[in-house]
Each structure stands twice: as structure tokens, then as C-alpha cells.
Structure 1
Amino acid sequence: MHTDKDSETLFIGWDVGGWNCDNNANSRDALVVLDRGRNVLGRPWRGNLRAIINEAGSTQAWVRALLDCCGVEPAGDLPPVILAIDTPLGFSQAFQQLVSGGSAAGAINESATNPYLFRYTEQFLFRHGLRPLSPVKDMIGSQATKGMHALARFAPESTVAGVWLGGSELTAFEAYPSACKPSPLVRKLLKDYRTTPAKPAVDEWDMVGYEFGIDHEDKRDALLCALVAWLFHSEPDALCFPDANTPAGEGWIFAPRDGLRDLTDIEA
């Protein structure tokens, strides 16, 4: 049963840019805020969150700053926020062990199963038709450390693999927009945001959200993350959750089940 407080929950998607992405035309931080009805609140934002991360002194201040970026001002007390983050929020156990002077992994073969490059969750996605990036080899270490740093400061508690908490104010986890694009469910949800862009559309993704202020791929990825945050709260069975073998310290990518191929090796 959902409480009145549940109905106030807000859902934020954060597409993470590098630490110093201020002048990067292609990739910066982007935020989209949705309410329980999946309405876009305020205006999607794009820029660099580094200064905000540095200046926020508490989880509440951080959450309010994210909402402020999008011009969202909740009436009354700050509602619970679920934050879906598009960047790796952990490194593999084998990589952590290697860099801390521990033992080496076994034989290294193909890239997709390299335990230094890919976590358990990424290897899971490879087996189901996706090609996730590696924080070690794909030049996204800046984004990964930025997301992990924010978690360590504002959502340091983790009682379930892949989910971090900042008290009752913030729940955060990792999402992956590319895993959403093959999902019929996500495509259905995106019909709410189909608009006519100001310039000719290259593909169907260019038709998503222009009149809502979603005028860049970073913002579109943030919208997809916000929808995953909404699914996590409202339709959790639509997502793949960690299985019993998931290393707790590696994190987990919450992806739509219907966007993955052949899920016979994980319980429904």
C-alpha cells in the first residue's frame, strides 16, 4: 500500500558528465525530474554539478540543489527522492583486489568476461545482448568517480546490493539508458514525451521531449534514467534486480527486463 508520502516521491535521472565537463560540448551532467504521474517538472538541466557537489553540506542540501537546477520547488517538506544515475557506481572485485596489492585473477580471455574490466552486472548484460562500457578501459573513469564520490557523500548507506540510501530522503542506484532503448515498456512510456523537434528528426529518439526542454542527448538519457527511477518505485517487477551471486561492493545496473534477451538464467 502506498502512503501519502509515497505519492509525493520525486524521480530524478542524472546523466553524469566528467569532473571538468564545463566546456565539453558533447557530454555534461544532465538532470530530469519526474513526479509520480511521470510529468516532467521544471525544465531539464545540463551543465556541471561539480561545484554543487562540493558545496552541498548534507543529503538534504544535495537533493534540494538538484531540484533547484531544474527549477523545482517542492511545497512544504522535501519529499523522498529516487535518483537513477547513468555511470558505473563501482569497480569489479578483481580490479579492486589487483590495485590494492591482492592476488591476481585467473586466465584472461575475451574482453566481455575480463574480470578487471567488467563487473558482474556488466557481464550479465553482455550475456543478454547489450554492450555496456567499462570504467577501466572506456574513458569513463571521471564520470564513475564523480558518481561514486556523490554517493559516498550523500547516500553512503547500502543494505541491498546496488542500492544506496541517504537516510529517508534519498534512494540512489545505477541505470543504463542504452538498456532502455530496446524495451517495449520504456518505448510505450516515452510516447508521453513524443514531440516535434525544431529541426528535422534524424531518428525516433530525436522526437522525444523537445517541447519539454529535452534538446540534447544528455537530457534524453537523463529522462530515461528518471523513467527507470519511476519503474523502480512503481513497477519494480519490470526491472532486473541483483541475484544472490552479485558482489555487494560492485553495484548493479537496473535495466528493464523486456529490453534484454533470454532471461532464463534469472528468476522472474
Structure 2
Amino acid sequence: MMATKQAAPLFIGWDVGGWNCDRNANSRDALVVLDSERTILGQPWRGNLRKAINEAGNTQEWIRALLDCCKIETTADIPPVVLAIDTPLGFSQAFRQLISGESVAGPIEYWNTNPYLFRHTERFLFQRGLKPLSPIKDMIGSQATKGIHVLARFAPENPNTGVWTSGGGLNAIEAYPAACKPSPLMHELLSSYRTAPAGQQVDPWEMAGFSFGINHEDKRDALLCALVAWLFHYKSNALCPADVDTPAGEGWIFVPEDALTTIESEGVESRR
């Protein structure tokens, strides 16, 4: 009996907007879908996924809704998907223990070491020059609960630190587009989606020059997330692995390893 050839996966980047981001002209949900060759499929999309989240009855319907947003035709058999999401996909263990009445943390000192405000993965990035936002103290609580809600409904299994799965068909991770900025690897990958006159150097982070429907910063960040999803599947050693001390359930932000090396040596500051 011949083995059935598994379909090549798709890679979806989701830059998350708030629950009611259709009222926010500056920041909304954005989606970009890549194939195994990193080709953008369909049309990059920007809007509000709240209706799609509410109406999807299962994981396959959720994936199909994302592909429909990007005008990608699907057959009965949807290929496996790696979804990289730009929002915190967990809250710190100390914060969860605090609100449940289990325990309190020790003395609170510096803002960027506060275990209520930041997860282990965020404090890990602080030590390497980044300044990720907090779902507690910054204005991203809406986005964080939206992403966590989607995981709970459509990818509820958490077999490895920072990885969620439906048990088949969908794997999800957390990405951080701003952390890609110093990465030579991400610069190289991102250059495929830009056009510029011959001999002219273009800043890969400037919106001017993007093609293939990448016409807003939200879509650019979704593209970066999709590239992180592609790396996670094909070149996982290019991403910084989860630290062994990460508490269960907090999640992990997957960023390019070469970005952290550059940030650590140059002291570059960034934000989500």
C-alpha cells in the first residue's frame, strides 16, 4: 500500500487588532498567507476577525475563514497550517497566582522585572535589549485575550512550551515583528517582497517599496509573522528556542536568533 503524500503546509501571519478594531483606523487585524516557497498567496487582508472567530464552529472552519479573508480558494481538504500570532498568548504565572488568590510575588523592584506585568519570555528579551509590551500595563489586553481565546477554541493543546495545536491541521506560535528588525536573516527574507530602482538601497522597514499588496504596517507585520511561521517549520534552529526555565502555560515569543545576538551587542531598543 502506497503512503499518502502529505500536502505542503501553509504559513499564516496574524497581526492582531483589538476585539473592536473595526473602529480603529490605525491598528486592525491583518493576515498574510505564504506557501512553502514563501510566495504570498491570494491577497493580504486587513480588517476585524471578530465575526470570523464567533462564527467558526471548529478548527477547519477557522482556517477556512482565514483563507477566505485572503481570497484563497480551498478544497475539501485544507492543508496543514502554521499560524504565527503577534500578541501575547499568555499571562505570567505570578499574575495568574495573584488573581486566583494562590500566592503573591516577593518584593517588586524594577518595572521590567515585575513578574506580574511580564512573563518569563518578555523578561528574557529585556535582558537582550528589547522592550516588549505587557498585556497588563500596556494597551494590548484586548489583543491578548483575542489571541488566547482563539487558541482555546481552535488549538487548545499545548504539547511544548510556546506551541499550541489542534491535534492535527493547525499549529500556532507567538511572533514578535519588531524583534525581526535587527535580524540579517529577516532582512534577506523581507527583501523578496520589495521593489526598488536598480542600485538604490531601501530600508526594509520603510513601507514605500513594498509590493504584493503589502500596503500597511499591519500587513507588513503579518508578513513578518508568516515568515517566522515558515522558519519555525523549515529552519527552527534560526529561532531562539524556549528557555528551560519558562513556566508552563506562559508561552514563548519566537524571534530570530541572529536578532538577539545583534541586539545584545548593540543595545538596540525596540517595541512590539
Deviation at 1:75?
Answer: 4.6
Cα 1:192–1:124 change in 2 (3 A) is same
Mapped partners of 1:76, 1:98: distance in 2: 46
Match of 2:213 in 1: 213
CA contact (8 A) 1:21 1:27 kept: yes
Counterpart for residue 146 of structure 1: 146
Q: Which residue of 1 aligns with 2:107?
A: 107
79-88 or 206-215, which deviates more: 206-215
Asked if the contact 1:240/1:257 (under 8 Å) is kept, the reply is yes
Q: In 2, distance between residues paired with 1:208 and 1:76?
A: 38
Q: Deviations over 1:20-67 (max 9, x none)?
A: 010211100000000000000001000000000000000000001001
Residue range with higher mean Cα deviation, 75-84 or 18-27: 75-84
Unaligned runs of 5+ in 1: 264-268
Is 1:132 the equivalent of 2:141?
Answer: no
Kept after mapping to 1: 8 A contact 2:82/2:171: yes
Identity across aligned pairs (percent)?
Answer: 70
Offset, 1:244: 1.7
Change beyond 3 A, Cα 1:202–1:238: closer
Please give the per-residue CA displacement for 1:211-264, whole angstroms capped at 9, x wherever unaligned: 21111100000000000000000100000111221111100000100001359x
Q: 1:245 to 1:208 in 2, by over 3 A?
A: farther
Alignment correspondent of 1:20: 20
Structure-2 separation of matches of 1:206 and 1:60:
35
Report the AA paired with residue 64 of structure 2: R
Q: Following TM superposition, where does structure 1 have runs of at least 4 consecutive aligned residues deviating by more than 4 angstroms?
A: none
Query: TM-score, normalization: structure 2?
Result: 0.90
- Aligned AA for 1:158? N
- SS at structure 2 position matched to 1:96: helix
Distance 2:203 2:25 in 1: 21
Q: 1:159: which partner in 2?
A: 159
Q: Which SS does the other structure have where 2:30 is aligned?
A: strand
- Name the structure 1 match of 2:6: 5
Partner SS state of residue 95, structure 1:
helix
Q: Tell me whether 1:180 sits opposite 2:180 in the alignment.
A: yes
3-state SS of paired residue (1:14): strand
Show the counterpart of 2:269.
none
1:167 Cα deviation from its structure 2 partner:
2.1
| SS of residue in 1 equivalent to 2:43 | strand
SS at match of 2:206: helix
- Report how many residues are paired: 257
What's the counterpart of residue 37 of structure 1? 37
Higher deviation after alignment, 46-55 or 239-248: 239-248
SS in 2 for 1:245: coil
Which has the higher mean CA deviation after the structures are superposed, 163-172 or 240-249?
A: 240-249
CA distance in 2 between counterparts of 1:219 and 1:207 reads 10
**Retained in 2: the 8 A contact 1:46–1:218?**
yes
Deviation at 1:5, TM superposition (A): 2.2
